[in-house]
Structure 1
Amino acid sequence: MTKLFGTTGVRKIYGTEFDVEMALKLGKSLGTYLKEGTVLIARDARTTGLMIADALSAGLLSTGVNVVRGGIIPTPTLALMTRELGYDAGLMVTASHNPPEYTGVKFWGADSMGLTQDVESKLEEIFHSEQYQVATWKKLGNESSNGTLVASHIERLLERCDVDKIRSKKYKVIVDPGNGAACVLTPYLMQELGCKVVTVNGQLDGHFPGRKSEPEKESLTDLIRLIENTGADLGIAHDGDSDRVVFVTETGEVIRGDRTIAFLAQEYLKTTASKTIVTTVDSSQVLDETVKKAGGETIRTPVGDIQVAIKIRDEDAAMGGEACGVFIFPEFHLAPEPFLAACKILEIMAKTDKSFGSLITNIPIYPLQKSKVPCANELKPKAMEKLSDVLPKAMGDVVEVLTVDGLGVFLKKGWVLVRPSGTEPIIRITCEAPEEEITQNILKQAKSIVEETMETL
């Protein structure tokens, strides 16, 4: 049975791996699983979005399940409003940070959390069996729309930060939604916080003409230049569906997600009863050290926001996130929440009367480098099985080997994580060490081993 779900939802190249028929069947599968109720459907700006959303809706309606259409909104908005408005599930048509030729669907439960692997497996079984619930013409689902979801989200965000304190500072903020779904929320949220807002790549466009959808230092040159030229206080950049966010200081420094998690975690640990912070296996050890110094403990999970959310729920953690720019605040909801992260950073800046750049200097930086090696999806299990034997033996000075997600090899100085991508036909390699030269050497050695292994398959 072909596996549909990756790290988060179903995400594939349109036309060769994903088409309207697949979307229709996914809608039927979810409707059959639910049996009844109402599902919220929304999308990001991708060119395939409306078509795929229509097919999903048709599939659900054919099973007798009702549909509410939310239009183009961020993924966190869909997840939050699925819970807040009492819907039985939420579907977001997106391929997240992937290039524009990709499309897909993220599935959200009534609790605002992504679906567990058990539920995903049941949906896959229904999908492949094609044994769908079929409603009679009298009992087909009804479709309606809701155009107030973003406004409702902003309203709830403003309730969770010191709005007056932030407004008193009149910050200048540069927002780069990357032509994605954040175009409809972040600039307006910043305006509500009394900020002077300048946007770049602020028009919805599924071709992502301004930059790559994934917000990284290399793709944020326009944002950095604007900050430097305008004297802005903060830069905010999102990916295609806005579940990720990267922050940039007043000097144009792009801050890694795990450093920002560490920064926010030490603030949360001052006031929360829980002293647990959850992150993924690819986050910097700086996060562990910062949390420990603040009196907390760090728990690591496999990559994926659903994995972080499950562990946050099960451990009653204070907060959590991923190095890629995912932040989850359980007192709000269990989906990624980049907008509250932005509010919290501005609030801390306002209360301390310090710039983000000066505040983040308290969180050290360890050189971290990443690379990737092509690997067909069907070869990933065999490749990882072989690497689990070859890599630790070849690296030397191995202290510990972890297999929480992929293969983590911890050395006397540094570590390397090798894991198959859940969304692309590649194997990802992440390395970190106290010094740049050591990091480069670890990456060079690990990548060479992975490439040599792939040649033997």
Structure 2
Amino acid sequence: MDKDIFRAYDVRGIVNQDLTSDVVARIGMAFGTYLEGKGRVLIGRDARTSSEMVEAAFVSGLASAGVDVVSTGLVPIPVANFMTLKGDYSAGSYVTASHNPPEYNGVRLRRSDGTGYTVENEVVWKTALEGRHRLAAWEDIGGLSRIDEKEAVSEYKDFLLERITMKRPVKTLLDIGNGAAHYAAPLILKEAGADVSTINGEPDGRFPNRPSEPNDKTLGALKKRVVEIGAEFGVGYDGDCDRAMSVDDLGRTVPTEKIGVLLARDIIERKGPGVVVANVSCSMIVEEEIEKLGGTVKRVRVGDVFVAEEIKEHNAILAIETSAHIFMPEFYVFDDPILATLQIARILSEKEERLSEIVDAMPSYPYVEINFACPDNVKFQVMDEIVSEFGGLGVELDLTDGVKVNYSDGWILLRPSNTSPKIRAAIEAKTRARLEELKKIATDVFEKSKGRA
């Protein structure tokens, strides 16, 4: 078993190379051991071609440890999280490799409230690597039952639509990305009263029409089609439907931070100011706009599981990640892009301004991301060298997640990827010229640090 498949918040690897059925079963045994062979675990899966195989292997491991398992089948991850939260479950799990290419798969573990494990993952991973599995007696092996996928979606839908109504049908275009949102997202938006169209709507784990990750480069078809049909906005989902990128009526992708400001304004108008959680790579506009509204911003490390922990600690009203995860704790603590889509549509149904006009009224600063190739076995040594290198420059360091250097007119963030052999740089500045200066500083620091590691 390759230890590199174990990440901060999930297991992920290439199917039948890093991630064989045997490996997955052993991880299931380890999770069942962590749960002391008791209770029930809910499991869902995405649309990847290998997900049924991975699910079966993981379930067999859980059952062999004495844990009962309930499968929802192919549903979006927020639906599985919701069913875990609302049902009588000791824990949850979901088979996915998030935005990775189709040859990858993995497993995410969830608490009974639908949020992901943090330090608990390390215990499960250690148990799997050491092979210290609990095996139940033959008469105590766990059972497997199923919830119909449409029944699960219906429960989730009813919960949302009891709480969200639109004043008029907002013309909405959804790019399903051939993923897990294929049934739930259009159904729920339609029943909420939106005028919904879709592209790439059939589930296909090969992701034949675009990569699973929704971003400005991959959503070209959505951006073009939004303008062609006169949609008021569009949304592109990733493969397991835990993130989504919005597109305005002019066919432009909208940064998650601006969507976050839109949602925060609505929440503060309805409920009053509070804490907004944002990861360290979010734009400077978050503080600028939220503080105008009387709110405060708490910066946290990247990763939905860590964001959820901060939401609980600070009783936050909203949380966002640059990677297009959005959390709306007035409903539940885990992230949910279908819920976010519903709320955007509702807000637009109540306003005269177009989405493009709303976001253009917010400041925009030049921003760039750079992926530096760096092997997994040395990238943390490289990060140590980066800390030393920046320290030698006499700048103040924020070590919340990787290394962040804040300047009066911009910032640099360098952090190791949790899912790939890379060190990621995110850079923002108030002018284009300053952005180029900060890019050069970041590149020089990385190259010097990699050379010494």
Distance 1:116 1:416 in 2: 26
Q: Kindly provide the CA deviation profile for residues 371-427 of structure 1, in whole angstroms up to 9, marking residues without a partner as x.
A: 111111110121001011113545x8x4x3100000001123210000000010000
Residues 159-174 of structure 1 mapped to structure 2, 5 A cutoff: 159-163=162-166, 165=167, 169-174=168-173
Q: 1:171/1:270 Cα in 2 relative to 1: closer, same or farther (>3 Å)?
A: closer
With 195-204 and 302-311 compared, the bigger mean Cα shift is at 195-204
Give unpaired runs (5+ residues) of structure 1.
none
Distance 1:447 1:72 in 2: 42
Residues 366-385 of structure 1 mapped to structure 2, 5 A cutoff: 366-385=365-384
Distance 2:359 2:126 in 1: 47
What corresponds to 1:69 in structure 2?
71
Maintained 8 Å contact 2:40/2:70: yes
Maintained 8 Å contact 2:8/2:118: no
Distance 1:211 1:445 in 2: 33
AA matched with 1:444: K
What corresponds to 1:198 in structure 2?
197
What corresponds to 1:97 in structure 2?
99
What corresponds to 2:110 in structure 1?
108
Residues 237-386 of structure 1 mapped to structure 2, 5 A cutoff: 237-272=236-271, 275-386=274-385
What corresponds to 2:234 in structure 1?
235
What corresponds to 1:189 in structure 2?
188
Distance 2:398 2:293 in 1: 25
- How large is the RMSD of aligned CA atoms in angstroms? 1.6
Q: Kindly provide the CA deviation profile for residues 323-375 of structure 1, in whole angstroms up to 9, marking residues without a partner as x.
A: 11111111211111111111111111111233222222232211110011111
Distance 1:372 1:421 in 2: 9
Distance 1:159 1:361 in 2: 32
1:151 paired residue among 151, 154, 163 = 154
Q: Kindly provide the CA deviation profile for residues 268-308 of structure 1, in whole angstroms up to 9, marking residues without a partner as x.
A: 12233561110100000101111110001100111001111
Pairwise CA distance, 1:128? 2.3
Distance 1:22 1:440 in 2: 45
- Residue 14 (structure 2) pairs with residue 13 (structure 1): yes
With 259-268 and 318-327 compared, the bigger mean Cα shift is at 259-268
Maintained 8 Å contact 1:391/1:446: no
With 412-421 and 384-393 compared, the bigger mean Cα shift is at 384-393
Equivalent position SS for 2:270: coil
What corresponds to 1:36 in structure 2?
38
Maintained 8 Å contact 1:181/1:240: yes
With 10-19 and 66-75 compared, the bigger mean Cα shift is at 10-19
Maintained 8 Å contact 1:416/1:446: yes
Distance 1:447 1:159 in 2: 50
AA matched with 1:249: D
Pairwise CA distance, 1:183? 1.0
Maintained 8 Å contact 2:273/2:294: no
What corresponds to 1:214 in structure 2?
213
Pairwise CA distance, 1:8? 2.6
Maintained 8 Å contact 2:175/2:237: yes
Q: Kindly provide the CA deviation profile for residues 49-104 of structure 1, in whole angstroms up to 9, marking residues without a partner as x.
A: 01000000101111111111111111111111101112111111001111112111
Distance 1:369 1:146 in 2: 44
Maintained 8 Å contact 1:215/1:245: yes
AA matched with 2:131: E
Distance 1:9 1:84 in 2: 23
Maintained 8 Å contact 2:27/2:61: yes
Give unpaired runs (5+ residues) of structure 2.
none
Q: 1:259/1:25 Cα in 2 relative to 1: closer, same or farther (>3 Å)?
A: same
What corresponds to 1:24 in structure 2?
25
Distance 1:331 1:198 in 2: 28
Equivalent position SS for 1:198: strand
With 73-82 and 360-369 compared, the bigger mean Cα shift is at 360-369
Distance 1:401 1:250 in 2: 40
Maintained 8 Å contact 2:214/2:245: yes
Maintained 8 Å contact 1:263/1:363: no
Aligned residues: 449
What corresponds to 2:80 in structure 1?
78
AA matched with 2:63: L
Distance 1:99 1:28 in 2: 27
AA matched with 2:83: M
What corresponds to 2:58 in structure 1?
56
Pairwise CA distance, 1:4? 5.2
- Residue 418 (structure 2) pairs with residue 422 (structure 1): yes
Distance 1:189 1:447 in 2: 45
- Residue 129 (structure 2) pairs with residue 128 (structure 1): yes
Distance 1:98 1:258 in 2: 23
Pairwise CA distance, 1:3? 6.2
Equivalent position SS for 1:97: coil
Distance 2:392 2:9 in 1: 32
Equivalent position SS for 2:155: helix
What corresponds to 1:448 in structure 2?
444
AA matched with 2:254: I
With 18-27 and 1-10 compared, the bigger mean Cα shift is at 1-10
Distance 2:338 2:155 in 1: 13
Distance 1:362 1:5 in 2: 43
AA matched with 1:151: S
Q: 1:5/1:266 Cα in 2 relative to 1: closer, same or farther (>3 Å)?
A: farther
AA matched with 2:361: N
Distance 1:440 1:92 in 2: 41
Distance 2:159 2:363 in 1: 33
With 127-136 and 205-214 compared, the bigger mean Cα shift is at 127-136
Maintained 8 Å contact 1:345/1:356: no
Distance 2:407 2:316 in 1: 29
Distance 1:23 1:45 in 2: 18
Distance 1:444 1:417 in 2: 13
Identity of aligned residues (%): 33
